[in-house]
């Protein structure tokens, strides 16, 4: 919804302008309306006020920060060791981490904004009650979105459902995780009843009933409530509103924006409300872009061969000298590989000693693994890498299918619907045709659906939450970071290893992030997570 880029700064300025206009003719300047805050004296009067206010809630949705979460797992890496995310990788972070605090702060900013909206919207004498209820549904769903993230990252966080004064903030305490999941479940079920299934083209980007149900499926999967997760996902599937976009390669391009696969995204527009995803992720040769987060060999090796076999499996046909030949097409659509054509028109050549700006070791900014993320890197943004208008997808239909399949597998309810969901993701597009699966054991299907989630949703912010709930993080994260395989000057097959990186994951503490120290200092009732 390109019209919902309403920045909170613009929101404040617009209200300030309204206020100043009301008092500009007043000779008594001491009686002016304050122009640096929202005043109930001039707001919450019309349905348009409600629209402006609910629009502002979308600015608290996640954006390119979701990609950083994958860099704290096995499938990606923070390329510069002085970035705050690198300290999380190395296990040297604590409750004073700015990364930890920023994620907490941004999420609770969204919670507070939603709370304020829900407390005040009924002040409006609405002629269109259905519209006001729709706005309430949007606020509830967006608040639940923040709590899904907070609970997934931090565990027992405070459940706050009203605006807080400074004194109130000093009395907040941890809420048990089970209560948080109960609240999220209730909010999203209520929101789904208030929201429409679709909107007019001019309203694209607003939360729909399908998005609320999709978030409900995600939340219950995180919580291990598999029956509820399967039921919510099934409602989305049976609604017929969503489907897979025909091309995985084009899914993250401007041409595919607002397609039928997207349930929820953060909307941007060039020049007006942009993001910097191109500059953040593109190879260094692309106008000195940052290669901030880069893929790892661990991820690349997960992509099957075209025959549907793992590369280490007997008969896979995998050739270490031609590692990207005959592989699952999602690999080349997600990762810049040697020989790819870059947005500049140049050929990507990250091999050490290649003489290109992208050569491993040529500069600390070039990818230390020899891989770069391709999702969201559009030629349209090459001219101005810090002015991207591409929408960042936060929830899409492929995740719904995989959530349904995983939940049913964990329940032992393996039926035709499970295979249909998995196979749709594997071969339901024109450019991805991995072999269908059938008649597999529960253990084999569990392994398969986990691999499908990893490769299908790579760099979309889900893997950190997945390996935490699967309790596999302690196995897959620790150790060196490896990258491309190449033939060196002596003719020897060599694997790139990122310099001075040894990822750490302590199962006694790292399955939850620490509560930020600033929050502990504010409220004596707030308790720290174990072993921090």
Which of 130, 68, 184, 171 is closest to 513 using CA atoms?
A: 68
Helix (H) or strand (E) holding 464: helix 463-469
Residues in contact with 352: Cβ distance below 8 Å, sequence separation at least 6, in sequence order: 359, 360, 361, 370, 486, 488, 496
The number of distinct structural domains making up the chain is 1
Is the distance from CB of 90 to CB of 147 less than 8 angstroms?
A: no
Q: At CA 407, angle to CA 404 and CA 408, rounded to 5?
A: 85
In this structure, are strands 293-295 and 479-487 parallel, antiparallel, or unpaired?
Answer: unpaired
Question: Look-up: residue for tokens 């150790």?
Answer: 479
In order of 50, 230, 530, the CA distances from 408 in angstroms are 40, 6, 32
Global model pTM greater than 0.85: yes
Which of 154, 222, 86, 90 is closest to 505 using CA atoms?
A: 90
Q: Is 467 part of any domain?
A: no
Count the neighbouring beta carbons within 10 Å of the beta carbon of residue 194.
Answer: 20
Q: Is 208 part of any domain?
A: no
Query: Tens of pLDDT along the chain (532 residues)?
Result: 443 333 333 333 233 333 333 333 444 434 555 554 556 668 999 999 999 999 999 999 999 999 999 999 999 999 999 999 999 999 999 999 999 999 999 999 999 999 999 999 999 987 899 999 999 999 999 999 999 999 999 999 999 999 988 888 899 999 999 999 999 999 999 999 999 999 999 999 999 999 999 999 999 999 999 999 999 999 999 999 999 999 999 999 999 999 999 999 999 999 999 999 999 999 999 999 999 999 999 999 999 999 999 999 999 999 999 999 999 999 999 999 999 999 999 999 999 999 999 999 999 999 999 999 999 999 999 999 999 999 999 999 999 999 999 999 999 999 999 999 999 999 999 999 999 999 999 999 999 999 999 999 999 999 999 999 999 999 999 999 999 999 998 999 999 999 999 999 999 999 999 999 999 999 999 999 999 9
Helix (H) or strand (E) holding 77: strand 76-78
Which of 402, 474, 477 is closest to 445 using CA atoms?
A: 402
Q: Is 336 part of any domain?
A: yes
Residues in contact with 53: Cβ distance below 8 Å, sequence separation at least 6, in sequence order: 11, 43, 44, 117, 120, 121, 135
- Show the domain range for 481: 278-374+475-504
Q: Is 300 part of any domain?
A: yes
In order of 119, 248, 347, 365, 496, the CA distances from 344 in angstroms are 50, 22, 9, 18, 25
Q: Is 3 part of any domain?
A: no
Q: State both tokens at 142.
A: 């967006």
Q: Is 215 part of any domain?
A: no
CA distance 212 to 197: 10
Q: Is 319 part of any domain?
A: yes
Q: Is 116 part of any domain?
A: no
């Amino acid at each position: 919804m390109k019209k919902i880029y309403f920045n909170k700064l613009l929101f404040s300025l617009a209200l300030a302008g309204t206020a100043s206009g009301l008092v500009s003719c007043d000779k008594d300047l001491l009686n002016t309306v304050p122009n640096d805050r929202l005043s109930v004296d001039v707001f919450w009067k019309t349905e348009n006020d409600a629209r402006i206010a609910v629009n502002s809630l979308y600015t608290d949705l996640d954006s390119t920060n979701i990609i950083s979460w994958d860099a704290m797992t096995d499938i990606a890496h923070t390329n510069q060791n002085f970035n705050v995310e690198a300290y999380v990788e190395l296990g040297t972070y604590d409750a004073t981490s700015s990364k930890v605090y920023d994620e907490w702060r941004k999420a609770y900013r969204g919670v507070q904004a939603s709370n304020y909206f829900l407390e005040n919207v009924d002040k409006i004498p609405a002629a269109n009650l259905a519209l006001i209820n729709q706005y309430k549904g949007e606020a509830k769903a967006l608040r639940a979105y923040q709590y899904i993230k907070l609970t997934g990252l931090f565990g027992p966080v405070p459940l706050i459902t009203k605006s807080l004064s400074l004194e109130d903030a000093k009395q907040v305490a941890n809420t048990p995780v089970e209560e948080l999941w109960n609240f999220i479940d209730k909010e999203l079920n209520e929101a789904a009843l208030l929201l429409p299934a679709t909107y007019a083209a001019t309203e694209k980007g607003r939360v729909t009933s399908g998005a609320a149900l999709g978030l409900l499926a995600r939340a219950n999967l995180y919580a291990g409530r598999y029956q509820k997760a399967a039921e919510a996902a099934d409602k989305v599937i049976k609604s017929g509103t969503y489907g897979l976009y025909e091309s995985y390669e084009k899914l993250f391009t401007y041409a595919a924006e607002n397609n039928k696969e997207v349930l929820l995204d953060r909307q941007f527009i060039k020049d007006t409300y942009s993001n910097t995803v191109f500059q953040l992720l593109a190879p260094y040769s692309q106008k000195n872009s940052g290669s901030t987060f880069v893929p790892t060999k661990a991820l690349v090796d997960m992509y099957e061969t075209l025959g549907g076999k793992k590369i280490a499996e007997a008969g896979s046909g995998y050739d270490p000298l031609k590692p990207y030949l005959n592989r699952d097409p999602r690999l080349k659509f997600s990762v810049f590989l040697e020989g790819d054509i870059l947005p500049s028109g140049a050929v990507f050549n990250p091999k050490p000693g290649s003489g290109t700006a992208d050569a491993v070791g040529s500069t600390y900014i070039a990818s230390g693994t020899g891989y770069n993320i391709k999702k969201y890197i559009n030629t349209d943004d090459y001219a101005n890498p810090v002015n991207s208008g591409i929408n960042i997808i936060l929830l899409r239909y492929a995740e719904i299918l995989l959530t349904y399949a995983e939940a049913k597998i964990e329940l032992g309810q393996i039926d035709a619907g499970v295979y249909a969901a998995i196979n749709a993701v594997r071969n339901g597009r024109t450019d991805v045709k991995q072999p269908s699966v059938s008649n597999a054991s529960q253990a084999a299907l569990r392994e398969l659906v986990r691999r499908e989630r990893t490769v299908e949703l790579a760099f979309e912010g889900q893997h950190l939450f997945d390996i935490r709930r699967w309790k596999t993080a302690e196995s897959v994260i620790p150790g060196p970071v490896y990258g491309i395989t190449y033939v060196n000057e002596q003719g020897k097959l060599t694997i790139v290893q990122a310099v001075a990186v040894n990822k750490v994951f302590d199962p006694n503490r790292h399955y939850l992030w620490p509560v930020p120290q600033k929050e502990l200092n504010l409220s004596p009732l707030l308790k720290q997570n174990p072993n921090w």
